[in-house]
Amino acid sequence: MPYDMSQFGKSRWVKTHPNGVYTHGSTEPVLSVLDVRGFELRDLFLIGLNDSCGTIVLPTESRAENAAAALEPAFATRVYLFGSRDGQDVWATDYTRRALDGTTLSAFITDLTLKDGRKVIKDGRWVR
């Protein structure tokens, strides 16, 4: 029996949606992509760190793999065992938005200039 995702919905910061969907943070862009790509929106906990990255926690490995497939190629993804709760495995899919050229952009630091004046990140990309 898969893990009961309602355990993630006990925080006042988590929003509850129909079909066992729980969200926290910036989630609308990813929910839209998943829905348009045919991924069934049920039994998941979506943590959106910002519009460009986050984590989807799912009760089975196959659902995590399917979420990753639905997000590709617009997002770079990584599926992994999130942990074990109450003796049951919980899986996750991390995602980071890709630019049109296929590179992943920094979701947190968009521009960084060192004290010596050298620019090392511009528009989310490392400058060489």
* Residues 6-19: tens digit of each pLDDT: 777 777 888 888 88
Tell me the mean pLDDT in the region 103-113: 72
E strand residue ranges, 1-128? 15-17, 21-25, 44-50, 53-58, 75-85, 88-97, 112-113, 119-122, 125-126
pLDDT digits (tens, 9 = 90+) for 29-78: 888 899 999 999 999 999 987 778 899 999 999 999 999 999 999 899 99
The C-alpha angle with vertex 11 and arms to 56 and 8, in degrees rounded to 5, equals: 35
pLDDT at 91 over 90: yes
Alpha carbons 44 and 93: distance in angstroms, whole number? 11
Find the domain containing 116 and state its range. 103-128
Residues 9, 36: one domain?
A: yes
Residues 75, 112: one domain?
A: no
Residues 63, 86: one domain?
A: yes
Residues 19, 78: one domain?
A: yes
Residues 74, 15: one domain?
A: yes
Residues 111, 51: one domain?
A: no
Residues 34, 55: one domain?
A: yes
**Total domains present in the chain:** 2
Residues 30, 88: one domain?
A: yes
Give the pLDDT band (50/70/90) at residue 107.
Answer: low
Residues 55, 82: one domain?
A: yes
Model confidence, pTM: 0.77
Residues 58, 109: one domain?
A: no
Residues 112, 88: one domain?
A: no
16-29: buried (b, 16+ CB within 10 Å) or exposed (e) per residue? eeeebbbbbebbeb
Q: Which two tokens stand for residue 116?
A: 């010596």
Residues 108, 92: one domain?
A: no
Reference 28, options 2, 48, 8; nearest CA is: 48
Identify the CATH number of the domain in which residue 88 sits: 3.30.1360
Ramachandran sector of residue 68 (left: φ over 0; alpha: ψ -120 to 50; beta: rest): alpha
